[in-house]
Amino acid sequence: MSTSAPARVLVTEKLADRGLEVLAAAGCQVDVQLDLSAEALLEAVVGAHGLVVRSATEVTDEVLAAGTDLVVVGRAGIGLDNVDVEAATRRGVMVVNAPESNILSAAEHAVGLMLALARNIPQAHAALVAGRWERSKWEGVELHGKTLGVVGLGRIGALVAQRAQAFGMRLCAYDPYVAPERARTMGVELMALDELVAQADFLTIHLPKTAETRGLVGRDLLAKARAGLRIVNAARGGIVDEDALADALESGQVAGAALDVFAVEPPTGSPLLARRDVVVTPHLGASTAEAQDKAGVTIAEQVVLALAGEFVPFAVNVAAAEVSETVKPFLGLAEVLGRSFACLHDTLPSRVEIEYQGALSSSNVSILTLAVLKGLFAAGTEEPVSYVNAPQLAAERGLEVREISTATSRDFVNLVTVRSERHSVAGTLAGANDEPRFVMVDDHDVEVPPAEHMLVVRNDDRPGMIGVVGQALGDAGVSISSMAVGPSRTASTALMVLSTATSTPDDVLVRLRGTDGILAVHRVGS
């Protein structure tokens, strides 16, 4: 930034006064314009060096194109659904957020919902103010001695577990992105999701909303739940199938639910709102004075650092100019490898080894290692995973990361391999357009482009196995888009990597895993 004129920072949504004061104290020209239409935003962003938004302003590629002087976009909160991060990265605009601003507020709200659910506090309050003294009607249950199942043991989930421990609850969790040793130090027992719902008295959800988690708590899972389960969701709407929950409440399989978030907000007409065994709040998880103040101050500090060209702790992307031309094309491949690698594991490995072979090894590939970690953790934490916070997430979850560079590569000009003690995946760029390719999975040679929906099947290397898989998918109406088959280099097994038009249903996975000759099945998404 030039020092000849103050940087103009456009603020389009209400920001805490202390945040505005931080911007002004740094010498910025603070331009507050609230409730802008999409057309007015395109005009207002012209000449702005910084743009600060919350959740309502849509920062599209068109907005970024109009803001030719933009250096940084700041989102005063955690979620980034309203910011086109990919377009910002392409245009060299930094995107920052405030990932730690509301974690305490969200955790406390989840605990508050759990207490309200256990003791029927809102229902008893409503009855009393309506003139009804109903002591016997609203008998509750104690938290002490009950099993709390935490789905997602990230920062918020960990805070909820810590507070529940003070109530004398037994703590169990499902989180494939947390190493068992890390969970043990927290006093939490890790287990599979099916086992968790079968043991839990209370289930609290702390996951991001992704293709993998949408509808996660649905009919199949609820059917496996311990009778009388109580469910708390203060994470994201849509993770709980609300129709399935309503039916489970009606049947008595689920004793109650407390919801702060909904698939559609506001949830007008939802049958859950009329039930006396359901506690609801209107997405209040981050709605505390402290959280809003922290978000405003944090985002202002990040914007000031970005405008000054200094290190920005909460940057969620990397400006294109900061990556060498040799390394830049591999960023997408590295992230896809990390995400696919995560899908191959049921639990987080204790160690991951990332090897760069060939011409790429002579470059600074540290950003690619961050991209692998970014992909690995993308579906397993409530906050957006960035190039900056990925190493911190690895440390928090007990993952050791080792980086290796080798000048020679057997078959490829460049090769990136991600490996643990259980699984491995390797990829390269191919063709004139540098298109990403998987070339190895679990030490089986394959060549297939990444796709949104994929299936990895390891089987005995004998005739008929391709037909078994094809028949199972065909019976379920799942269309195969492409397939690669590779034998093992050292064992009498083969591997199928299939791209499918839609995600493979859970019952098909169960069917395949129970088939003679099939050794492992993994659903992989890129």
Q: Give the active site residues.
A: 236, 265, 283
- CA–CA separation, 242 vs 257, rounded Å? 10
Instruction: Report phi then psi at 516, rounded to 5.
Output: -60, 130
For 67-136, the three-class secondary structure string (H helix, E strand, C coil) is: CCCCCEEEECCCCCCCECHHHHHHCCCEEEECCCCCHHHHHHHHHHHHHHHHHCHHHHHHHHHCCCCCCC
For the chain, the 3-state helix, strand and coil shares in percent, each to the nearest 5, are 35, 25, 40
- CA–CA separation, 74 vs 9, rounded Å? 10
DSSP-assigned states of every residue in 349-360:
-SEEEEEEEEGG
Q: Which residues pair with 334 in a beta bridge?
A: none
In 3D space, the residue among 372, 519, 497, 498 whose CA is nearest the CA of residue 440 turns out to be 497
Q: What angle do CA 479, 481, 486 make, to 5 degrees?
A: 115
The answer to whether 50 and 303 are in contact (CB under 8 A) is yes
Q: Which residues pair with 522 in a beta bridge?
A: 456
3-state secondary structure of 9: strand
Name 345's Cβ contacts closer than 8 Å, sequence gap at least 6: 176, 420, 422, 423
The answer to whether 301 and 288 are in contact (CB under 8 A) is no
- CA–CA separation, 193 vs 237, rounded Å? 19
The answer to whether 513 and 469 are in contact (CB under 8 A) is no
Instruction: Report phi then psi at 422, rounded to 5.
Output: -110, -35
3-state secondary structure of 143: coil
Question: Exposed/middle/buried for 322, CB within 10 Å: 0-12, 13-18, 19+?
Answer: exposed
The answer to whether 18 and 296 are in contact (CB under 8 A) is yes
Q: What angle do CA 400, 401, 407 make, to 5 degrees?
A: 150
